[in-house]
Amino acid sequence: MEADFHRIALENGLTILLERRELPLVTTLLAVRLGAGHEPVEVKGIAHYLEHCVFQGTKTRSSKELSAAVEKRGGVLNGFTDEEITAFWIKLSSKYLELSIDLLGDMLTNPAFEDQKIEKEKNVVLEEVKMYHDDPRTYTIGKVKSLLYEPPFGMDIVGTEETVKSISKSSLLEFFGRYNNPVLCVVGKADPEEVVEFSKRFLHVKPAPKPELRVKKTRGEKVERREKLKQAHIALAFYIPTLRERERYALQSFNAILAGGASSRLFQEIRDKRGLAYEVSVHPEVGLSYGYDVFYVGTDPKYVKEVKELMLKEIKAVRNLDRDEFEESKEQLIGHYRLMQENSYQVALALLREELAGSAEEFYEYEKRISELKLKEVRKLGELRGYSCFTLLPK
């Protein structure tokens, strides 16, 4: 079935992406083209901290009133910080479309930034930094990034305790002033004319220059030890195609074959056949200016060498991928794409990412792109020319 898709560009720089549906639900996602990748080292974590502060109330609504307006109507209000964007989103019954756009507009253009609340929220963010540090799996997957890229890009999106503590209100306001060229994604039962009307009424934005994201690649291996651990955590990572490159579709087949479920190669070799791990997973990170794949395994310390060798062996073995397994991966990806259509938030997010890459309409070409994949394109990704590896071991 062909999607009922609309793209509307307003004079103030706002781009509206709308997929109309009949189910009386609507996801409204508002994103600005500024994220963690645009931060200097000294205030690393400011984009994420700012996202938190936006939820702390506007000049017309308290933080409780913002959340209650959505939650008491059975909806979800949330946000996230990425390398190249910061986004806020609401999922609600479609009869509350106007309220959704009103709330997002109020948060984006009218935050209060009260001294006491943003200082309190700094403590919340510091606890989040500690939480990620204390979770060995999350820490390992995040830490390998620092072996792929130099600072500031190679640092965690949440920053460090030192950089977060150093963020002042003035630097927060300066960064907020760089919020630019928003994209509004609406997926659900919504009329285009109403979306435009509500956007003009509530989203008072203005065009701004697009920030530059500079990444400097590096490479390395590191082993770190920590007390009171029982398991070893391994993250093996390497560079992959960006959102701008057509090879990203081949990458999805590559990842599905290696770690796309219990039937995948790494799961079978490491967990099913040898019982060396509970979790075997892949975590691709792809943007306009960067791309890297992280394969993760948690295992007993005595199996680290064996597990790492198995990971490298299976990745390189894709060079000899046979056609049957390749075709199965394509069917798997198309199946996942169709299942994902049920989730309006996931569709809104996918439309946003494709818009950043050039055109939201590319999202609807997905099945065609996967069908057009050539075996040699996926085999080529098995030609591993280097990698970085971070291992966290018990002390």
The CATH number for 110's domain is: 3.30.830.10
Residue 216 lies in a domain: no
In 3D, which of 49, 40, 33, 50 has the Cα closest to residue 152? Answer: 40
Instruction: Assess whether 225 and 161 both reside in one domain.
Output: no
Q: Please check whether residues 230 and 188 belong to one and the same domain.
A: no
Residue type, 353: R
| pLDDT in the model for residue 1 | 64
Domain count, the chain: 2
Identify the pLDDT of residue 12: 86
Residue 142 class from Cβ within 10 Å (0-12 exposed, 13-18 middle, 19+ buried)?
buried
Does residue 110 lie within any of the structural domains? yes
Domain contains 95: yes
Residue 132 belongs to domain spanning = 4-202
Whether 247 and 319 map to the same domain: the answer is yes
| Residue type at 25 in one-letter notation | L
CA distance linking residue 161 with residue 127, whole number of Å: 9
Do the Cβ atoms of 81 and 47 come closer than 8 Å? yes
In a domain, 108, yes or no: yes
Residue 2 confidence (pLDDT): 85
| Cβ–Cβ < 8 Å for 26, 187 | yes
313 and 169, same domain (yes or no): no
Q: Please say which residue of 158, 173, 202 terminates a domain.
A: 202
Q: What is the pLDDT along the chain (395 residues), one digit of tens a residue?
A: 689 999 999 988 899 999 999 999 999 999 999 999 999 999 999 999 999 999 999 999 999 999 999 999 999 999 999 999 999 999 999 999 999 999 999 999 999 999 999 999 999 999 999 999 999 999 999 999 999 999 999 999 999 999 999 999 999 999 999 998 899 999 999 999 999 999 999 998 877 888 889 899 999 999 999 999 999 999 999 999 999 999 999 999 999 999 999 999 999 999 999 999 999 999 999 999 999 999 999 999 999 999 999 999 999 999 999 999 999 999 999 999 999 999 999 999 999 999 999 999 999 999 999 999 999 999 999 999 899 999 999 99
Residues 75 and 24 in one domain: yes
Residue 27 bridge partners (DSSP) = 91, 187
Residue 158 falls within a domain, yes or no? yes
Residue 212 domain-assigned? no
The verdict on 167 and 248 lying in the same domain is: no
The residue from 167, 202, 237 where one domain ends is 202
Clarify whether residues 161 and 255 are in a common domain: no
Instruction: Classify the C-alpha dihedral 354-51-141-149 as positive or negative.
Output: positive
